[in-house]
A = this chain, B = another copy of it.
Amino acid sequence: MTIAEELLAANAEYAASFDSGALTKEPARHVAVVACMDARLDVFAMLGLDLGECHVIRNAGGAVTDDAIRSITVSQRFLNTTEIVLVHHTDCGMLTFPEERVKQEIQAETGVRPAFSFDGFSDAEADVRQSMARIEHSPFLLHRSVTGFVYDVDTGRLNLVEP
């Protein structure tokens, strides 16, 4: 079985009992979540949000990158979200990320030095505050109300980051 066949077989079961029900394009709770891509994060369950209630933007680290700003801009201007929730977490792959060494290795291997920053950080809480600052200073957002958390992957607990 190829991965496509496997995923399609699982999806056929999902679709068989699927009910699009009350789901709307516009997030019902007007929230955009920005979270890390980490495999252990159940974004809906940890926040007590349901499908249909929020946009979910995820990347390595859960950083407010330019691309996250692009997504939040679309979310606010076209789909009427007004609140931003940030979720970083303990034991993140981006903690103590060796930016310079990785770039040198990639360049040695491929001949191309990544033009982007990997956006690693040494302190999850401090990085949530950095992400808050990026939101505060982006000219493109309509709403800057932001709540930031560090999620503990061992306990399932969210710790609020004071701005």
Contacts and interface: CB of A to CB of B under 8 A. Distances in A.
Nearest to A152: B15
Given A38-B25, A51-B40, A8 B65 contact: no
A116 B74 contact: no
What number of copies of this chain does the assembly contain? 2
Interface string A114-127: 11101100000000
B155 A46 contact: no
Contact of A71 (B27, B60, B106): B60
Contact of A25 (B40, B54, B97, B102): B40
Interface residues of A, number: 85
Contact of A3 (B18, B24, B85, B153): B85
A2 B58 CA distance: 24
Given A110-B140, A116-B67, A155-B15, A74 B60 contact: yes
A55 B74 contact: no
Contacts of A78: 93
Given A7-B147, A11-B158, A112-B139, A39 B67 contact: no
Interface of A: 2-4, 6-15, 18, 20, 23-28, 31-32, 37-42, 45-49, 51-60, 65-71, 73-75, 77-79, 83, 85, 91, 93-94, 97, 102, 106, 110-112, 114-116, 118-119, 139-140, 145, 147, 149, 153-158, 160
